[in-house]
Amino acid sequence: MSSIDTQAIHAGRDDLRALGVHVPPIDLSTTYPITDVDSGGEAYEQITAGERGDGAATMVYQRLWNPNFDRFERAVAALEGAQEAVSFASGMAAWSAALLATVAAGKPHVVAVRPIYGGTDHLLATGLLGTQVTWATPETVAASITPATGLVVLETPANPTLDLLDIEAIAAQAGDVPVIVDNTFATPILQNPIRHGATLVVHSATKSIGGHGDLLGGVVASDSEWAVRLRSVRVLTGAVLHPKAAYDLHRGLQTLPVRVRAAQAGAQAVAAWLAAHPGVSRVFYPGLEDPSGLVGTQQRGPGSTMAFAVRGGYAAAATVASQCQLITHAVSLGGVDSLIQHPAAITHRPVPAEARPGADILRLSIGLEDPADLIADLDQALAAAARPLSA
């Protein structure tokens, strides 16, 4: 098997030589010619049932199939060590498809381990898609499973406090129940949950895979059986990835290993500096402290996202976020530029108070800037937060 760096560059591009091109063409067609009624009807039936559309007589319609998201999906599957992958219009559309598929199969109960991304938490808590959720700890997953359980949901590293969960241990507790892991923070470069017992892996491709803050997308890597179910949901709900976004995400994979490792190196330096700063009470970053022992085994590196608690509580944390000049005060992560945000006030606002991150916590996504410049920006922001306390 080729290294992950080589796969990132070449996966999903097997058809280019036959096409006589060096980079994938972008197919923007919303509809496709049908040679005859019978073959068109058979193709429509095949694709709407969740089968792949690349062997059909016609792709029929962009909501059903498109070669750009097919190439992107093949590449993600290769990087994750999965049989297949299915792309969606956003990370939340990907989560919605997985939940709808399990509800449709008569398994509406979900066991979920907090913390997870606030949007996913909110979706599960509302029961909007027909799911019922039991919130578990890593130790109580097995006890939370019922005959109606269709999925065990977890995120590692977890958003926003970077908790690391042992996927193999949770998969062992889950038994025959599929485990779905949000791998957005680690990316396929640092972690491959399927190799540790997960059945499905979800990414907000908007983040590190896209990497430049200019597109939305989501993707689920899985076995072929789940891929059929997910494609069927995508066809019926219309949550399809736009061909241009699919092209850009596929291109983003080519530089993903380099970007992830460079940002991770910068994060290590910033985290070490924050840990020594008197205005910071705690840094949440597995590159500094990893009681789980999973970095270097399950996860190939600590990544580029961290959180830190600011002395002075909410007011001080809010000041730091708003006073950053180089680091953008904005949600999202995994881009080439660094971002800072207050989870409890924004991304995790819908999460119940008892499970919400502390009001003193900020999440920081490190980009590709010089770490010294990021440290200087954080230094002046922390100084601004400390001034009212000492006045």
> How far is residue 15 from each of residues 23, 71, 174, 241, measured CA to CA in Å?
10, 9, 39, 20
Catalytic residue among 27, 52, 63, 337: 63
356 is catalytic: no
Per DSSP, helices labelled H in 105-214 are 118-126, 141-144, 167-174, 187-190
Catalytic residue among 207, 229, 234, 356: 207
Catalytic residue among 166, 182, 248, 377: 182
For residue 215, give every residue at least 6 positions away whose Cβ sits within 8 Å of its Cβ, in sequence order, or none: 206, 245, 248, 249
Closest to 51 (Cα-Cα) out of 65, 38, 63: 65
251 is catalytic: no
44 is catalytic: no
Residue 106 three-state SS = coil
Q: How far apart are CA 141 and CA 148, in angstroms?
A: 14
Kindly report the backbone phi and psi dihedral angles of residue 17, in degrees, each rounded to the nearest multiple of 5, phi listed first: -60, -45
And the tokens for 184?
A: 């957005």
Catalytic residue among 44, 61, 117, 285: 117
244 is catalytic: no
Closest to 251 (Cα-Cα) out of 16, 3, 2: 16
Q: How far apart are CA 104 and CA 102, in angstroms?
A: 5
**Active-site annotation, residues:** 63, 117, 182, 207
